[in-house]
Structures are given as structure tokens and as C-alpha cells.
Amino acid sequence: MQGVGLVYVLLLLGLICPTLFTENQTKEKVQEVSDSNAGAYEGTAEEKPKIALTFDDGPSAECTPMLLDGLKERGVKVTFFLIGQNVEKDNNCEIVKRMYEEGHLIGNHTYHHVEITRVSNETAYQEIAMGNEAIKNITGQEVEYMRPPFGLWQKGLEQRVHVLPVMWTIDPLDWATGNTDEIVNKVVTRAEENDIILLHDCYDSSVKAALRIIDLLQAEGFEFVTVDKLMMN
């Protein structure tokens, strides 16, 4: 974090200029960093810094399959926090099945995307239980993690529903812009070891940004993992 503070100070002083990673510049930057890091992890037991990508509000029939294709191509596993009613839409169950079969971690984002601190304890419990059930009906596995909408959580809930809430450390507010370059830059200029990045797989711009973020941060030596791997540290 000290490094981030130094960059911020330098920016204020006008001593450096931030790099804006457009799509073509992303490719150039990936190649440049890859070349400079060639062999950096060979012949050493040093572990790569870990970082997690998470996606809320899916699955999306339009966008999630494209994201899954890109993740498979890159050999990257991420975490999806799904809305129960979206899971049960149309053929979205096949998308969820694919997520599970391809090794991604699947968590709950409530059934109707409700702010659980604004409803009764019983309603909050039902929202989580229904979301869990929608996912379990497809994967056959108990849901262990959830992302509370808006990051608001009632501390006693996990004692009843047996899920762990997962927050985030980087939020580029991708839902508020369709500018892929902006999303990419907000993430890659702040990314540090053990960060949890919040994105949404229901926007085309966010999916495109996610894949470019992966390319850039992998070139810098980061390893993408599911959030359970970070929470076990």
C-alpha cells in the first residue's frame, strides 16, 4: 500500500503520468512484461502472488459463456456469486453446470438480490436458503460462500445458514460504465497480492475487461485463484 501512496503523491506533483491500457496497449504491455519476467520463476521455490477475480449478479445467458470461454483458454479459475432467480432462468442451469465442471467456485448472491440488512431476519434467511438451493440443485454441492448484495451483512446469519460472507478489496464500479479501458485501468493500477476484485459477468464491457486484466496481471507474475484459496491463508 505504501507503493500506491507514493504513486498517488507523484501524480499530484505532476512527476509521472498514469498509463492508460487501451486494447492494443494491453497486448504490448503483456508482451513487454512477459519478456522482462522470462525465467523469473524458474529454478526457484518462490510462489507467485495470488489474486482473485469474482463476478456478481450472474449467470447471464449473453455474457457468461463468453467469459467462461476466455477463462478456459487462459486456464484461470474464478469465483461466481449467483442470483438464485437468474440461475433458474431459461437454460442458465447449463451455464452453472459448466462453471462447476470447469472448476470455478460458485457462491450465493441471494435469490432476488436483496439488501439483507433492510429485511427481517427470517426474510434474509429465506433469501440465502433459496439461493443456496437453486445452486445445489445443479451442482449437488453445498454452498459455502456468499457475497451479500451491496456488501451489507448481518453477523449472526452464518450461524444459521452456514455460509461465509466474502467482500472485496478492489471495486472498479464496472456496472456504472461501459468503458472497458476504464475498468481495466482501475484494477491493474491498484492490484496487489491477496486482493479480491469485484466485477459483474452480466456486462459485455466487464467480461472483455476481465480477460484483459487477467492477461496483464499474469504477465506481471500474479496467479489467479478462487477466493477460498485466499481465505485459507
Active site residue 56: yes
**For residues 147, 148, 153 and 155, what is the CA-based torsion angle, rounded to 10 degrees?**
-50
Active site residue 195: no
Q: Taking Cα atoms as reference points, which of 190, 145, 153, 152 lies closest to residue 171?
A: 190
Which cell is 38 given?
522470462
Which residues are CB-neighbours of 92 under 8 A, at least 6 positions away?
Answer: 59, 61, 86
What are the backbone dihedrals phi and psi of residue 16, each rounded to the nearest 5 degrees, phi first?
-135, 160
Which cell is 121 given?
431476519
**Active site residue: 56, 57, 174, 201, which one?**
56
**Active site residue: 109, 181, 195, 200, which one?**
200
Residue 19 per-residue DSSP state: P
The C-alpha cell 439488501 sits at 115
Active-site annotation, residues: 56, 200
